Amino acid sequence: MTHQLLDRYEQMAVIRRTEKAAHDLFLAGKVKGTTHLASGQEAVAVGASAALRADDYVFATYRGHHHALARGASPAACLAELMSRSTGLCRGKGGSMHLTKADAGMLGSYAIVGSHLPMAVGAAWSAAYRGTGQVAVAFFGDGATNIGAFHEALNLAAVWRLPVLFVCENNLYMEYTPIGSVTPVPNPAADRAGSYALPSELIDGNDVEVVEDAVRTAADRARAGEGPTVIEARTYRHHGHSRTDPATYRPADEVEEWLARDPLLLARARLAELGVPEGKVDAADERAERLVKEAVAEAEAAPGADPADALTDVWADGGATWRS
Amino acid sequence: MAELVTYRESVAEGIAREMRRDRDVVCLGEDIGAAGGVFKTAVGLFDEFGPERVRDTPISEQAIVGAAMGAAMTGLRPVAEIMFSDFLACCWDYLANEIPKVRYMTGGQLGVPLVVRTANGGGLGFGAQHSQAVENWAFTVPGLKVVAPSTPSDVVGLMAAAIRSDDPVVFFEHKGLFAAKGEPAPPDHVLELGRAATVRRGDDVTLVALAWTVPMAMAAAEELAREGISAEVIDLRSLVPLDAAAVLESVGRTSRLVIVEENPYQGGWGATVASIVADEGFESLDAPVRRVAAECVPLPFADALEDVVLPSVDKVTAAVQALAAY
């Protein structure tokens, strides 16, 4: 199985470098608006994707670059979207917070906290109704566990016993405020699952193998008709909440502790343990480096968003006409 | 002549016709299963199509509309019921931020072919949180189609069009019309969204109405006819798409326009209709455009107060009479 872990490692390395490129391009004035980087949380996306079928449905948040990439969006198409290029995933109409790759089952990134949990429930209902054996997964942050849609979604999914996974990426902070200071239970997602008679797993979200195992087990249960699972993956973001946040509110020793548990470092150590030669891991890093470098060049060279696109895609006929 | 049917029965009939022809059509909402809906607009659906296609939900408006959205994005054509239109505010995120935007912000990758049905409007003494006409809320959001029928037959024809539409549709059923009777819809009745109906021909003034204000405008037209004023009545039937051409054509002949809307004057849909006519039909006008709308207060409970706030036949006739002076 070592080659599989090496693949996961390489995917995480690609995501890490794509996020770094997004950060650098922002500082260079080539990405506008804001970005919410997921550096440090790659193992959740890569581990989960590895456990899912190609036709399963994934819903992500505004911190969703890693999920789009893990489901098969190219770094070039993601970066082109961030750079307002017509070759972007959403042709420049979505931006960083709305990366979507529907043809890979990645059904969008939603920037209203918690809004996509009911959507995942609906996608799971649809899959169950059509009898396809697909599952739906909603990835969300710890902050989403205090919004109504989280609770409505868990309840409905539980009573309808739907094939849906609720995967919380608990990175300990909502935006600037620790989740623990506004939540009466220590594990904001896992501890609530019991209220809806749902099983929950509290896992190390920085260990890609642990994530993959937990998601596979939950997906198998869902496909077998045994209903939803809540997975709370503890992880940490290497950056602030968004571009403008230097994250000075986090204690230095906490940051240090988590940086030492960087998912890429953990995977590297595990690969060494399994006897994979270091050179092979370095080669994966080099391939990732090259791929993202080429992606940046490709995105930079792409044409800008087409002004004609501003008035398309409101309706199914492709247009925006609302009156005669 | 066929036996008359109610507006209420026609809602269930319209949904049932679509469920018979397309297995992807499914319903969800509070009390819509064995109970048949609190307004009895889903009677018979549960018995005919079963619990897999007609699903009772908890009182969770976000989950209802959010799940409908997820199902619509993945191959189904859900029909979600929000019991009273006032409760749309409980799931407004989905109607303002999610459903109307997802096609656009994904660059056309995803669509949301769903219908959100809801009982709208006042006149029944339900008080401030169960009586509002909120079609203007939906009308402010680019990306939603907005439908509000006034007759049983139109309910069926517009329901078919709404369910078959690949775009999201908010379908306002008027509480004050549920008991109203009319001709049943013919077989395979499908109307086009965005096509107004001229329900009375006239020469002197155009009355533009929607849903509950259509019979009101018709009654006013009857009264005005006795005074020698010939009023044309247009039932818009849908606000998005808006049949502006029908309004402009009519005003081109009558030269006078009164818009009869149930939502508050402040931000009401009639303001958009008036602005279109001011902009594109100015040459035709012989008098100011008048809007008969609800007063800008919460809906009161007592009849004597509600009557003051809502539009009425008398208010419409008075508005028209005032224009006759021009």
Alpha carbon of residue A324 to chain centroid: 42
In angstroms, what CA-CA distances link A169 with A41, A121, A141, A203, B10?
A: 8, 18, 5, 10, 47
Does the beta carbon of A288 lie under 8 angstroms from any beta carbon of chain B? Answer: no
Q: Are A59 and A107 in contact (CB under 8 A)?
A: yes
- Rounded to the nearest 5 degrees, what angle is found at the Cα of B237, between the Cα atoms of A315 and B120? 95
Q: Which two tokens stand for residue A7?
A: 């693949």
Complex-level ipTM: 0.97
Residues of B in contact with A138 (CB under 8 A): none
Write down all domains in chain B, each with its CATH number in brackets: 5-182 (3.40.50.970), 197-324 (3.40.50.920)
Residue with tokens 């809806």: A196
Q: pLDDT grade, residue A3 (50/70/90)? A: confident
Confidence of residue B325 (pLDDT cuts 50, 70, 90): confident
| Residues B130, B281: Cα–Cα separation, whole Å | 37
A52 inside domain: yes
Catalytic residue among B130, B145, B174, B291: B130
Between CA B165 and CA B65 the distance in angstroms is 17
Alpha-carbon gap: A141 to the closest alpha carbon of chain B (Å): 18
A316 occurs within a structural domain: no
Sign of the four-CA dihedral A228, A229, A230, A236: negative
Of A44, A20, A72, A17, residue with least CA distance to A213: A44
Buried b (16+ CB within 10 A) or exposed e, A119-149: bbbbbbbbbbbeebebbbbbbbbbbbbbbbb
In a domain, A257, yes or no: yes
What is the CA angle A218-A220-A225, rounded to 5?
95
Q: Give the pLDDT confidence of B108-141 residue by residue, as tens digits.
A: 999 999 999 999 999 899 999 999 999 999 999 9
Question: Averaged over A222-238, what is the pLDDT?
Answer: 98
Tell me whether residues B70 and A121 touch, CB distance under 8 A: yes
d(CA A235, CA A238): 10
pLDDT classification of B106: cutoffs 50, 70, 90: very high
User: Is residue B189 annotated as a catalytic residue, yes or no?
Assistant: no
Q: What is the mean pLDDT of residues B265-284?
A: 98
The CATH number assigned to the domain holding A34 equals 3.40.50.970
Residue A1 has pLDDT above 60, yes or no: no
Is residue A11 assigned to a domain?
A: yes
Cβ neighbours of residue A47 closer than 8 Å, sequence gap 6 or more: A8, A207, A208, A209, A210, A211, A212, A214, A215
Q: Which residues of chain A does B57 touch, with a Cβ-Cβ cutoff of 8 Å?
A: 156
Contact A108 B110 (CB under 8 A): yes
List the domain range (segments joined by +) for residue A165: 2-311
Say which residues have a Cβ less than 8 Å from residue A86's Cβ, sequence separation at least 6. A80, A92, A302, A303, A304, A305, A306, A309
Chain B neighbors of A148, CB-CB under 8 A: 62
Number of domains in chain A: 1
Q: Which of B316, B312, B193 lies closest to B256 in space, CA to CA?
A: B316
Q: Residue A180 CB: number of other CB atoms within 10 A?
A: 15
pLDDT, mean of residues A218-237: 98
Tokens of B313: 């036949």
Query: Is the CB of B110 less than 8 angstroms away from the CB of A107?
Result: yes
Q: How far is B170 from B149, CA to CA, in rounded Å?
A: 12
For CA atoms A291, A296, A297, A301, the dihedral sign is positive
pLDDT above 90 coverage of chain A, percent = 98
The answer to whether the beta carbons of residues B136 and B268 sit under 8 Å apart is yes
Find all residues with CB under 8 Å of A9, minimum gap 6, and list them: A208, A264, A267, A268, A271, A281, A284
Structural tokens at position A285: 């890093």
Collapsed DSSP state (helix, strand, coil) of residue B299? coil
Residue A180 lies inside a defined structural domain of this protein: yes
Alpha-carbon torsion angle A314, A121, A180, A190, nearest 10: -160
Please answer whether residues A199 and A229 qualify as being in contact, where contact means their C-beta atoms are separated by less than 8 angstroms.
yes
- Residue with tokens 């919380």, as numbered in its chain: A168
pLDDT score of B1: 59
A202 within a domain of the structure (yes/no): yes
A46-86 pLDDT, tens digit each: 999 999 999 999 999 999 999 999 999 999 999 999 999 99
* pLDDT, mean over chain B: 97
Mean pLDDT across chain A, nearest whole number? 97
Q: Is residue A108 part of a domain?
A: yes
Residue A124: how many CA atoms within 13 Å on its side-chain side? 35
Asked if residue A212 is part of any domain, the answer here is yes
Gap between the Cα atoms of A43 and A49, Å rounded: 10
Amino acid code (one letter) for A227: G
Residue A123 has its nearest CB partner, among B74, B98, B194, at: B74
A79 touches A71 (CB < 8 A) = no
Tokens of A313: 């895609």
